[in-house]
Amino acid sequence: MKYNMKYTKVLGLAVAATFAFGACSDEWDEHYDVQPIGDGNGNLWEVISEDGSLSNFKMVLDSCGFSNTLKSPQVFTVFAPTNDALTTDDALQLIAEYRKQKSARVKDDDNSTLKEFVKNHISLYNYSANQDVQVLEMMNGKHMELSQSSFGGKTFVSSNERCGNGILFRIGEKADFFHNVFEYLAADDELTGVASFLYEYNKYEFMPGMSVQGGIEDGKTWYVDSVEILRNEMLERVLGTINNEDSVYKMVVPTDSEWNRLVEEYTAYFNYNDSVDKRDSLTYLNARLAILRGTVFSKSLNTAGWDEEVLDSAVSTNAVPYSLRKYYYGSSDVHYYYYYKPYASGGIFDGAEKITCSNGQLLKANQWNIDKTETFCQVIKSEAETSMLDFDKSQTLQPTYLFLESNHPFYNKMSGHESLILVQKTSTATASVEIGLGGVLSNVPYDIQVVLAPSYLYYLAQGDTIANPLPNVIAAKLNYPDQTGKTQIEEFEAPDGMPFFYTENYMQMDTITLFKDFKFPTATYGSGTTEEVFLNIENQYFEAFDAGIASKHMLIDCVILKPVSETEVQ
């Protein structure tokens, strides 16, 4: 199925200065070899109407209401296909499609007959073929080459014919419409899955600043001429404006077979519990965005080796700049949506069919080489000092924080250079705190880890001398919603079968795996309900431990959820 090209790029309003051709005719004659038709005073519409070899082109222009445009005092250059290039059947088919879209209330700027055919053969202002190759911007925003003998590679039947409001060329073939990346999605029968999803977000937006006001009635402004522009919020806000003729992009796109396979797989990762508002819509949206985020590449972000297949890396429009990675991810080494050796064997562009478009290149992939762990399936890190949801006030002192100065030997070892200090209220109490785990995916195996700092750092910060540093005794409970939204609890079990664990590496930063290959039945990713998933961490210190068994201060640095590949699980 092909998608009608009424779905188009975000449009700009083309504003051309209006001037009379006769005022500059002397200068024009000096510089160009222009052959006048008759006295040269007939406008373009009159000249086309009187030429029997252009009757089919005239029929299309007239039926689409374009005759008045070519009668106007604006100046145009028209490349008119002769009847040998545009048959009567071709013309009738174009007219039928125009009327069909018109009845469906498609704006003229977005009507495929006007956009892909009529405006593809007309440029504002006057241009003459000469010895230099010129690049013309057509009325549809496309760019075409004009040489001494051809337009867009189509040979002239006649050229440089002056009319009262412009220049007329006759060409022996229709000019090819050159799709941009976004338009090509809708034109390829093997890309209907991606096209149907992205084109859902094409919406007309009323532009009061571009519209002509008629007056005010009952306190409301009414307009003589209302201007609406077709926009696509998904492109503008999420992926990149691949519908923009003024920018250059690459986009890797899965064919329908791969798209359907990926949608089926990824849908399982975005299963929301029944209490989440619009859960089905969230699943639909996020599963598809998970495929497409990280697939668009702007030349402005990839200045080195853009056209070379030895390209060292590809930075997508969704990649976080290197300078901000530490802020976003806690480490500058993390590079989601940023790919190394994209053209190498197994790289994201490897094996894709390269299709040249008017604003870049589309890479059509029958095999999807983008690993989900390079994009949306990310390591989740919850800093204890900023992700604390609550603590047991009956048994736990108000948690405080240890912040390290840059000259501290643990400064670059402790995530965020800060940790939460958990202490029980009495010698017989069990101190506990809840750490929120944001944005989990469903049906993805995670290793859930807690990172502890040495408890003796607290005492050193107080100016105490610690002759015998002690371990912590940790217990944990994982809280998460099931399909109905009811909270379930998974309790930590130490390797020896005990419900708590004596830390072993208590002289250094210690990463403890509390739950291995754990799969959440429901997701919180993008739902705004991250507080539904949290880890309850307990400091199992008792008075009996005072004999040098455990520390009553626990320094919690962060909690890490690390996605595990299915191969690792097996």
AA letter at 189: D
pLDDT given for residue 427 in this prediction: 79
25 part of a folded domain? no
Q: Cα(157)–Cα(530) distance, rounded to whole angstroms?
A: 67
Domain count, the chain: 3
pLDDT given for residue 565 in this prediction: 77
Claim to verify: residue 292 and residue 207 sit in the same structural domain:
yes
Range of the domain at 323: 181-374
Q: Cα(91)–Cα(433) distance, rounded to whole angstroms?
A: 74
CA 439, 445, 448, 449 torsion: positive or negative?
A: negative
pLDDT given for residue 15 in this prediction: 27
Contact 354, 331 (CB under 8 A): no
Claim to verify: residue 448 and residue 499 sit in the same structural domain:
yes
8 part of a folded domain? no
Q: Cα(523)–Cα(11) distance, rounded to whole angstroms?
A: 37
7 part of a folded domain? no
Q: Cα(527)–Cα(285) distance, rounded to whole angstroms?
A: 11
Decide which of 318, 346, 374 is a domain's last residue.
374
Residue 379 phi/psi, 5-degree rounding, is -65, 130
DSSP H helices in 81-158 = 88-103, 112
Q: Cα(158)–Cα(458) distance, rounded to whole angstroms?
A: 88
404 part of a folded domain? yes
Token pair 């009414």 is found at 222
User: What confidence tens digit (pLDDT) does each residue in 469-519 have?
Assistant: 889 999 999 999 999 999 999 999 998 888 888 888 889 999 999 999 999
DSSP 309: T
Contact 129, 156 (CB under 8 A): yes
Claim to verify: residue 155 and residue 204 sit in the same structural domain:
no
pLDDT given for residue 67 in this prediction: 93
Cα–Cα nearest to 206, from 220, 219, 225: 225
Cα–Cα nearest to 537, from 425, 342, 427, 390: 390
Which residues 6+ apart lie within 8 Å of 96 measured at CB? none
205 part of a folded domain? yes
Claim to verify: residue 317 and residue 368 sit in the same structural domain:
yes
The number of CA neighbours under 13 Å toward the Cβ of 403 is 4
pLDDT given for residue 404 in this prediction: 94
pLDDT given for residue 569 in this prediction: 46
pLDDT given for residue 535 in this prediction: 97
CATH of the domain at 107: 2.30.180.10
SS3 state at 335: coil
Token pair 């191969």 is found at 567
User: What confidence tens digit (pLDDT) does each residue in 262-310 have?
Assistant: 999 999 999 999 999 999 999 999 999 999 999 999 999 998 888 888 7
- Dihedral, 243, 178, 94, 4 alpha carbons, nearest 10: -40
Claim to verify: residue 297 and residue 431 sit in the same structural domain:
no
pLDDT given for residue 547 in this prediction: 60
Claim to verify: residue 264 and residue 387 sit in the same structural domain:
no
Which helix (H) or strand (E) segment holds residue 357: the answer is: strand 353-357
pLDDT given for residue 504 in this prediction: 87
What string of DSSP letters covers 42-62? Answer: S-HHHHHHT-GGGHHHHHHHH
SS3 state at 250: strand
pLDDT given for residue 223 in this prediction: 56
Token pair 């009553």 is found at 552
Provide, for the chain, the percentages of residues in helix, strand and coil under a 3-state DSSP scheme, each rounded to the nearest 5. Answer: 25, 30, 45
350 part of a folded domain? yes
Residue 209 phi/psi, 5-degree rounding, is -70, -25
AA letter at 207: M
pLDDT given for residue 256 in this prediction: 98
Decide which of 356, 374, 392 is a domain's last residue.
374
Neighbours of 369 (CB within 10 A): 17
Q: Cα(234)–Cα(241) distance, rounded to whole angstroms?
A: 9
pLDDT given for residue 19 in this prediction: 32
Show the CA angle centred on residue 176, arms to residues 175 and 181, nearest 5°: 145
Residues in the chain, overall count: 570
Decide which of 123, 144, 171 is a domain's last residue.
171
Claim to verify: residue 439 and residue 547 sit in the same structural domain:
yes
Claim to verify: residue 393 and residue 500 sit in the same structural domain:
yes
SS3 state at 26: helix
Claim to verify: residue 282 and residue 267 sit in the same structural domain:
yes
The backbone region for 194, taken as left when phi is positive above 0, alpha when psi lies in -120 to 50, beta otherwise, is: alpha
476 part of a folded domain? yes
1 part of a folded domain? no
pLDDT given for residue 192 in this prediction: 97
Name the stretches of the chain with pLDDT < 50: 1-38, 569-570
Neighbours of 517 (CB within 10 A): 14
Q: What is the 3-state secondary structure (H, E, C) of 514-543?
A: EEEEEECCCCCCCCCCHHHCEEEEEECCCH
Residue 90 phi/psi, 5-degree rounding, is -60, -45
How many whole angstroms from its chain centre is CA 133? 36
CATH of the domain at 399: 2.60.120.260
Which helix (H) or strand (E) segment holds residue 262: the answer is: helix 256-267
Which helix (H) or strand (E) segment holds residue 453: the answer is: strand 445-453
Q: Strand pairing partners for 134?
A: 146
In 343-472, DSSP assigns E strands to: 353-357, 360-365, 380-383, 388-391, 400-403, 418-423, 431-436, 445-453
Claim to verify: residue 363 and residue 414 sit in the same structural domain:
no
Claim to verify: residue 365 and residue 385 sit in the same structural domain:
no
Claim to verify: residue 54 and residue 90 sit in the same structural domain:
yes
What string of DSSP letters covers 458-503? Answer: HHHHTT---SS----EEEEEEEEE-TTS-EEEEE---TTS-SSEE-
SS3 state at 31: helix
Neighbours of 203 (CB within 10 A): 11
